[in-house]
Amino acid sequence: MKAFMLLLLGCLAFSGSSCGLRVHRDLILKDQGFSRLFSSTDPSFASQISSFELTAAAKTGDPTFRIGDIPINFGDPENEQFQGVCFVYSSGEKEIIIRKSWWDGASGLARESLIFHELGHCALNRDHHNETVEALSRFFKTSMMNSVIVGPADYLQFKDEYHEELFTLSTTSLLGSLGL
């Protein structure tokens, strides 16, 4: 228990100083009686969805890969610390809600990083993976599914490697690019 608490405190200390975007636990299971808010996706997210599907097709070898019936829209993620959230309803339906005020101020890279992360939850059924490695005199997230979203600079530099991990669960490319 003591080791777990030390690990938890270490993760919290590191994530609080990270340049990434704080998202915490952004996969929310909704109780029975709640239903999806939207049946279609806001066109503002079309380029990120297209990029996700094309990348998934390339990384998985499945040219027919689609995110399916997962609407993405602006709304209230229901937690001040969330910029986006994947809601999963008792019916099995899913949707992603993005905070518009954050979106309006975010760079294209930050937007894509967040959408890929949330689709990692909703379309790929991935949970958070908070492992980091030290390389080049600093720490790097080893997964797009880190609870602190990969920041735009690291995302730009290691985009292909992060995508490889997201769709195949392999960190080999990323670790190789970091010299590890």
Are 83 and 61 in contact, with CB atoms under 8 Å apart? no
Residue 163: the pLDDT is 98
Report d(CA 7, CA 26) in Å as an integer: 21
In the predicted model, residues of the chain with pLDDT beneath 70 are 1-26
Single pTM value for the model: 0.84
SS3 call for 103: helix
CATH 3.30.420 fits 20-177, yes or no: no
The per-residue pLDDT for 14 is 34
Number of helices and strands in the chain (H, E) = 7, 8
Q: Which two tokens stand for residue 101?
A: 């005020």
